[in-house]
A and B are shown apart, each in its own frame.
Chain A
Amino acid sequence: MGQEPSRGKLNKAEILQKLTALQNQYGFSLNLEAKIEELAVGHQQQVEILKLLYREANILILDEPTAVLTPQEVDTLFEKMRALWKQGKTIVLITHKLREILRFTDTVTVMRGGRVVETVAAKDLDERSLAEKIVGRKLATLPARHSPPGKESVLQLAGLSVAGKYGKPALDNVSFEIRRGEVVGIAGIEGNGQHELVEVLAGVNRNYSGSAKLLGKEYSEVAAYAAKQKGLSVIPPDRHREAVVLDFSLAENFILGHHREDCYGKRGYLSPKTLMSQADGLMNRFDVRPRNAELPMSALSGGNQQKCVVARELSQTRTDFLLAAHPTRGVDIGAIEFIHQVFLEERDKGAAILLISSELEELLSLSDRILVLYEGRVVGETTPQKTDEAQLGLWMTGASA
């Protein structure tokens, strides 16, 4: 695209020939006749790179190339990049995944607040020292668990199924439970039923079969609004569309979902004063910047927006069940660390937490148990002690457990 070889008429044969030569040279094996939408994301990513090679680029700049890939696809991608590197190409990799940087790069440049902080050789770094350079201070270690999870079951799913778009069920007979003070992680490539699971557990979709109970009450029998007041906290996956109202002020966003509670004014009256003072309190506690509750939500950075969401969801009277879907997506390291700590505090206070994430590292470091979703079914259950990223990656692509 943008580099068609002929004037007027497209010379398809010539393009194909050139691409095939490139494929051979760099060890790609893509089906050149396939439509993009038919390809797996990992292959789509390779098409992007092939496109750059076709344009005879010598410097490749890759911005978060692995965000949607499985660990196996990541490995393949970096193998290809290594081949390019050997043939003399320069690669600039922009990523927030520390492991990728340490494994695949020679030189690391750390940026913070729009400025270059430091440039170092990758071999002189480990994950911790790199992370500390990025946030600019010492990182706290995640607190170890003080006590084992409680006995009381908070969330119970039994045979939960949701119909999908093309006749295939989107969620197929999912059963598990979460107890007080327990963190259950859901691993899986996006689009394998996470979305539908979130919709049921957030109370947005009541059109399911099987049973989903929160504190013994069936979801379909409780209004979503009532569920929120009874100890349900939700961090939705799509921050801009589902978690906040971008045009509303921060103060207004802090009460979303709790706007009918009496503490904001009597009988439906919303007192601006109360809203502002609550917002100021939350912004101080959760370190939201800039500290101006009158700003619209759209004026904040992703990390600060997410802090607002977390602040809103976890500052209410009490949280029995926290549903956190991709809580640290697009969020800077400092905020990630903060959010993780808040989660573990909630866990220790007795909240049951369901963590859905595409960051395996996050799942492994926070969860007590990990379930793997594939095509709407739970295909594997394990604990962080018994598994690693490679194992999870295999399950996520459908290899049987």
Chain B
Amino acid sequence: MKKLWDALKGPIAGVLLSLAVSAALLAFLGESPFVLLEALQSTLFTSFGLGYTLFYATPLIFTGLAVAVCFHCGLFNIGAEGQLYLGSIGIVIIGSLFPNLPGILALVLGISAAFLFGGLWGGLAGLLKAKRGSHEVIVTILLNFVGIALVNYLILYPLRNRTVQNPETLEVTAPYFLPTLSDAFGLFESTPVNLALFLAVLTAVGAFFFLFRTAWGYELRAVGACNRASEFAGISVGRNMMLAMFLGGGLAGMVGVNEVMGHQHKLVEGFSPQYGFTGIAVALLARNHPIGILLSAVLFGALHNSAREIEFLSDKVSKELSLVLQGLIIAFVASHYLFEHTLKRRKKEAA
């Protein structure tokens, strides 16, 4: 219990501090600071608001995991944004190739397609890193542009739905639909939160198990913590880097399950409000722990949601407030870690 509290107290303090600073900011802009509380209250404690919060949290769980798994291997995956587009288009491609599959098979195939397409896109960066030593940060950033452009091309030309004005693909067929929680269980009113949420939670638990309870995860973490010692232990550094980037890309690709299979049933150009980059913040706040990512994804989902809410409630602030809030949280939490780190080092030096 104490361990849990130790892990949580930093992030909680960071969140509270940043809320306080944001409230002050609102007051400065001539808006009542309680607008923020009101918005948070409705996004977390009403069933409609919570539904949307969880709907936004679902992709963030996937992208947070995408960043965290790579981070455990010592790699910084900034390419989740491109990887999630690739995963989403993967579902549309498979869906249009095999439209008439029996239900469960279509679901399995769709989810696998999302994972594989995203995984191969991420794995490409891993391959370049392992074989040619190209820095994964540069490669993943650049592959974002390439990946998104490629997907946009597919949306606009080969897969386009020509009966509508909007740039979007044809719909996948009904066997590929994941039911929303309101259809399946009558929960969260008419919000789009769907069974992909359960998949995300299972994936997080699976990621924890993989990283901390299997020999493969052990190797991956060993490479991340000290790749020279891994070499001496007979662990292949290159192979594990490729594996980590493949898994990271695959996890990011799973965002498509929420968006395409669970919500729109088609892919719309530019659908992601930068889930891939917010995933970095989600992972950072959770210190790359898969279970912590569940919590921090819900928090960031709530922030995203309340920013939209505030736009309704106020005419003085815009939804970009949520970016300010996210920035503050990261700054406070990161400085908390820094503080802890220096404190520990001081203690060590004194000893």
Contact = CB atoms under 8 A, between A and B. Distances in A.
Interface of A: 202-204, 223-228, 234, 236, 238, 241-248, 252, 255-257, 259-260, 264, 268-272
B234 interface: yes
B218 interface: yes
Given A241-B228, A269-B213, A269-B214, A248 B234 contact: no
Chain B CB within 10 Å — which of A204, A242, A246, A256 has the most?
A256
Interface residues of B, number: 18
A246 B214 contact: no
Nearest to A227: B234
Contacts of B231: 204, 224, 242
A224 B234 contact: yes
B229 interface: yes
Given A234-B232, A236-B229, A264-B215, 14 more contacts: A204-B232, A224-B234, A228-B233, A244-B229, A245-B225, A247-B225, A248-B222, A256-B233, A257-B233, A257-B234, A259-B215, A259-B233, A268-B215, A270-B214
Contacts of A228: 233-234
B118 to A, nearest CB: 24
A247 B232 CA distance: 17
Nearest to B231: A204
B337 interface: no
Contacts of A257: 232-235
A257 B214 CA distance: 14
B225 A246 contact: yes
A132 B216 CA distance: 46
A270 B234 contact: no
A252 B211 CA distance: 13
Contacts of B235: 225, 257
A255 B214 CA distance: 12
A337 B219 CA distance: 33
Given A246-B225, A247-B225, A202 B218 contact: no
Interface of B: 213-216, 218-219, 221-222, 225-226, 228-235
9 contacts: A234-B232, A242-B232, A244-B226, A246-B225, A248-B222, A257-B235, A259-B219, A264-B215, A268-B214
A234 B232 CA distance: 8
Given A246-B225, A246-B226, A270 B218 contact: yes
A259 B230 CA distance: 11
B231 to A, nearest CB: 5
B233 A260 contact: no
B233 to A, nearest CB: 4
Contacts of B228: 238, 241-242
A25 B216 CA distance: 64
Contact of A203 (B214, B229, B230, B234): B234
Chain A CB within 10 Å — which of B222, B225, B231, B232 has the most?
B232
A248 B225 contact: yes
Contacts of A204: 231-232
A15 B319 CA distance: 66
Contacts of A227: 234
A254 to B, nearest CB: 12
A269 B211 CA distance: 11
Contacts of B218: 252, 255, 259, 270
A380 B135 CA distance: 45
A387 to B, nearest CB: 31
Contacts of B230: 245
Given A225-B234, A227-B234, A236-B232, A245 B222 contact: yes
Contacts of B222: 245, 248, 256
Q: Enumerate the 9 nearest inter-chain pairs by beta-carbon distance, A residue then B residue, closest first.
A: A225-B234, A257-B233, A224-B234, A268-B215, A247-B225, A245-B226, A256-B233, A245-B225, A260-B215
A208 to B, nearest CB: 16
A238 B231 CA distance: 13
A259 B234 CA distance: 10
A243 B229 contact: yes
Nearest to B222: A245
Contacts of A264: 215
B101 to A, nearest CB: 31
Chain B CB within 10 Å — which of A226, A243, A245 has the most?
A245
B234 to A, nearest CB: 3
A227 B234 CA distance: 8
A204 B232 CA distance: 6
B229 A242 contact: yes
A190 B231 CA distance: 22
Given A241-B226, A245-B222, A246-B226, A270 B213 contact: yes
A270 B235 CA distance: 16
Contacts of B233: 225, 228, 256-257, 259
B229 A256 contact: yes
Contacts of A245: 222, 225-226, 229-230
B214 to A, nearest CB: 5
Contacts of B214: 268-270
A234 B234 CA distance: 11
Contacts of A247: 225-226
Contacts of A224: 231, 234
A248 to B, nearest CB: 6
A153 B337 CA distance: 54
A206 to B, nearest CB: 11
Contacts of A226: 234
A268 B216 contact: yes
Nearest to B223: A245
Contacts of B229: 236, 241-245, 256
A16 to B, nearest CB: 37
Nearest to A234: B232
A252 B228 CA distance: 16
Nearest to A228: B234
Contacts of A256: 222, 229, 233
A55 to B, nearest CB: 25
B226 to A, nearest CB: 5
B247 to A, nearest CB: 15
Contacts of B219: 259
A245 B233 CA distance: 11
Contacts of B232: 202, 204, 234, 236, 242-243, 257
Nearest to B235: A225
Nearest to A235: B232
A246 B230 CA distance: 12
Contacts of A246: 225-226
Chain A CB within 10 Å — which of B216, B221, B231 has the most?
B231
B175 to A, nearest CB: 33
A290 B66 CA distance: 37
